[in-house]
Amino acid sequence: QVQLVESGGGLVQAGGSLRLSCAASGRTFSSYAMGWFRQAPGKEREFVTAISLSGGSTYSADSVKGRFTISRDNAKNTVYLQMNSLKPEDTAVYYCAARRGVLSTLSDQYGYWGQGTQVTVSS
> How do residues 46-80 score in pLDDT, each as one tens digit?
999 999 999 999 999 999 999 999 999 999 999 99
**Is residue 53 helix, strand or coil?**
coil
Per-residue model confidence as pLDDT tens digits over 82-123: 999 999 999 999 999 999 999 999 999 999 999 999 999 999
Partners of residue 7 on adjacent β-strands: 21
21 closest CA partner among 85, 94, 106:
94
Q: What is the pLDDT of residue 1?
A: 83
Query: Cα dihedral sign for 20, 95, 44, 50?
Result: positive
